[in-house]
A and B are shown apart, each in its own frame.
Chain A
Amino acid sequence: MRNEKPFAAIDRREFLKASLAATAAGFAGLAVPRAASPSETGQGGLIDVNVNLGRWPLRRLRFDDTAGLAAMLRRQGVTRAWAGSFEGLLHKDLAAANARLAEDCRREGNGLLIPFGSVNPMLPEWEEDFRRCVDDHRMPGLRLYPNYHGYTLYDPVFARLLGLATGKGLIVELALIMEDERMMHPLLRVPPTDPAPLVGVVKQTPGLRLVIVNGLRTLKEKALADIVGAGDVSVEIAMLDALNGVGDLLASLPPDRVLFGSYAPLFYFESAALKLQESPLTEAQLRAIRSESARRLLPDSA
């Protein structure tokens, strides 16, 4: 595809050279720094914990075909991507959606795409969908959408699902929102999931490994710190949007709880990548966000 530049692993020396050259040029013709490939930086590539297969219900997207998405991610230096499916939002036949997700990841991903299936505990006999994710598809994790599935985090079934997932060693990705509430389709208005019960639920679920996805628009400051501090809880940066957002986030959270997430293909991939460029981060912080924090949760061999 034309006009793409990899931003995934930014070579800091290259950036410094570009910045100095730009300053010398008196601000005329500044260069957007070139990104280096993972092999160039030797930093173990990039792990994106928030990508989605399938079609967004309200709009066609570039890269909403799995092969195209996988090719784009590879060009950006992504070596592993945790993939949910947009079909998981509204489809009632989640067994079929999860089977397609697993098959697409296997066929097109070539080790790049890791399927995170969806379970809707409001559906009859949802435990069978859960079982198939674990036993049939060997998924290492789930992605949950409580607001689209019609339950709150106060609901006892949520705690039960977390307990089952933890018992099977699964990572649980919890999506708090999927799009800006102000711009939703009038017939598909879905309020954000209220994260308030999470501190209690996390504490009641020993061994839980929870990743909050699309959470940093609504979850901030003390509420965020309390939830992350309640157990093995991590966040990703797709919806973090503030000047020096990643830098400020790392001032309040340990780097091993902060993961790289692009929310591709609904968001331009470059958004997450450029956030790492905008914030002045140490090499250790960059390594953690790019891959080490995700690898702690899901080793490459898994």
Chain B
Amino acid sequence: MKYEIWDNHTHLVEKLGATPEARLGEALKFADRVGISRLILFMGTFEGTYNLSPEQQRRANDMILRAIKPYPDRVFAYVYLNPKHTQASLDEMNRCIRDGPMVGVKLLVAEYCNKPTLDPIIQRAEELQAPVLQHTWLKITGNLPDESTPMQLAELAARHPKATLICGHSGGDWEMGLRAIRPHPNVYADFCGGDPTSGYTERAVRELGAERCLYGSDIGARSFASQLAKVLGADIPESAKRLILGENLKRLLKPILEAKGVKL
């Protein structure tokens, strides 16, 4: 069986090289070994804080722009934003998505995602046909300050039913996270970042449908291998595996990629 695999969630891996280009170039060699054809990359650097200033935000995105330049048809990118700086975020969306090669938005741990400060960003993403990937986690050990839960993402989705939202890590505690996003058909489950626990994918397909599930690895924190196993090892039809591994993300990104002249 052949799969066309798109990885919706990757980071630059520091140990792989000194420059963004080197790090991505090396990561692609490992992607080749497990048959991954395309990557979505974001968040060039943390600079020691989740609450990036507008200048730090630009630097983080500049690193990604530098890294992806040699791979315009293979590696795509989401712009990394801090919603606490709403106007700066809108400006960065224009710079990186409207006028640049980026195709989506990544939100991490800077602001609870149910806050009204996110509304202009989500509206702008919708206009640009860009999906928004929001990190979510639900930790019994306690979330970080400003770290969103899947329930908060569900609130955001209810306010923006036409936006394409992606629930990062399916909430970490996927049994809870999948339940929280289930009523919102515009929210997709991002599979990456947690252990390859048996039953994860079967439950997601059962509760959301395979059309709302996306493979991602979270390399930088995880491996391609462990996260691919969630799909390849699942007891689901081959057609569902094809959707999750690549077809769904390709469908979501097709309008914006075609608008940018990317050949698929």
Contact = CB atoms under 8 A, between A and B. Distances in A.
A32 interface: yes
Interface string B221-242: 1111110111011111110010
A47 B112 CA distance: 46
A22 B238 CA distance: 20
Nearest to A76: B233
Contacts of A18: 35
B104 to A, nearest CB: 20
B234 A268 contact: yes
Interface stretch (B26-34, B60-68, B86-94, B208-216): B26-34
B208 to A, nearest CB: 18
Interface stretch (A88-96, A123-131, A148-156, A240-248): A240-248
A277 B33 contact: yes
A30 interface: yes
A189 interface: yes
B222 A242 contact: yes
Classify chain B's interface size: 35 or more
B169 to A, nearest CB: 10
B47 interface: no
Interface in B63-102: 74
A19 to B, nearest CB: 6
A62 B199 CA distance: 7
A280 B30 CA distance: 8
Contacts of A30: 2-5, 35-37
Interface in B22-55: 27, 30, 32-38
A226 interface: no
Nearest to A245: B223
A184 B172 CA distance: 11
B155 interface: no
A182 B223 contact: no
A245 to B, nearest CB: 6
Contact of A2 (B38, B74, B195, B235): B235
Interface string B173-191: 1010000000000000000
B206 to A, nearest CB: 13
A125 B229 CA distance: 42
B219 interface: yes
B140 A27 contact: no
Given A182-B137, A186-B140, A243-B13, A270 B35 contact: no
Interface in A195-238: none
B233 A271 contact: yes
Nearest to B224: A278
A27 B74 CA distance: 8
B28 to A, nearest CB: 11
Give the interface SS of chain A, mostly helix, strand, loop or mixed.
Answer: loop
Interface in B147-196: 172-173, 175, 194-196
Contact of A274 (B141, B225, B238): B225
A264 B197 CA distance: 9
A241 B226 contact: yes
B10 to A, nearest CB: 9
A29 interface: yes
A145 B195 CA distance: 20
A183 B223 contact: no
A179 interface: yes
A270 B238 CA distance: 16
A61 interface: yes
B19 interface: no
B4 A28 contact: yes
A261 to B, nearest CB: 13
Contact of B198 (A7, A15, A27, A266): A266
A278 B33 contact: yes
B139 interface: yes
Interface in A17-38: 18-19, 22-23, 27-33
B35 A31 contact: yes
B222 A28 contact: no
Given A3-B241, A27-B74, A268 B2 contact: no
B220 interface: yes
Q: Could you say which of B5, B13, B223, B224 has the most chain A C-beta atoms within 10 Å of its C-beta?
A: B223
Interface of A: 1-5, 7, 15, 18-19, 22-23, 27-33, 59-63, 179-186, 189, 239, 241-245, 248, 264-271, 273-275, 277-280
30 contacts: A4-B233, A15-B33, A19-B33, A22-B35, A23-B32, A29-B2, A30-B35, A33-B35, A60-B199, A62-B198, A62-B199, A62-B202, A180-B194, A181-B140, A182-B172, A183-B140, A186-B140, A189-B140, A242-B223, A248-B15, A266-B198, A267-B197, A268-B196, A268-B198, A270-B232, A271-B233, A274-B228, A274-B229, A278-B33, A278-B223
Task: Enumerate the 6 nearest inter-chain pairs by beta-carbon distance, A residue then B residue, closest first.
Answer: A268-B233, A274-B225, A271-B229, A270-B229, A27-B37, A270-B233
Given A61-B198, A268-B197, 14 more contacts: A19-B32, A27-B37, A28-B4, A32-B228, A180-B195, A182-B172, A244-B30, A244-B223, A269-B233, A270-B228, A271-B230, A275-B225, A277-B34, A278-B225
